[in-house]
Amino acid sequence: MPTLAIKLDPTAVDVRAEETLLRVTLADGRELAAPLEWFPRLRDATPEQRGHWRLIGRGQGIHWPDVDEDISVASLLRLS
């Protein structure tokens, strides 16, 4: 029986902070979603502040400078 070989790459390539969810797309195509409720600074931020993010550590984390929030992809994987 053939086996599909998939190379996992848990680095973030895109981030979307929606009204109630934080969605992170990984380089290998996976998408992680977590409730914004878990991240009070992001939950309380304006949509503009949530939209102002940058990847840190070559995609190992996400930083929101307007609200001084950092979230690692590893922590999102542990929570999901």
| Residue spans of alpha helices (H) in the chain | 40-43, 47-51, 73-79
Name residues whose C-beta falls within 8 Å of residue 2's C-beta, 6 or more positions apart in sequence.
none
* Spatial separation of the C-alpha atoms in residues 25 and 27, rounded to whole Å: 7
Q: Is 16 exposed, middle or buried (0-12, 13-18, 19+ CB in 10 A)?
A: middle
Question: What is the CATH number assigned to the segment(s) 12-79?
Answer: 3.30.2020.40
Q: What is the domain partition of the chain in residue ranges?
A: 12-79
pLDDT of 2-43, one tens digit each?
A: 666 778 899 999 999 999 999 999 999 999 999 999 999 999
Q: Closest Cα to residue 28, out of 2, 54, 9, 47?
A: 9
Q: Is the pTM here over 0.75, yes or no?
A: yes
DSSP state of 24: E
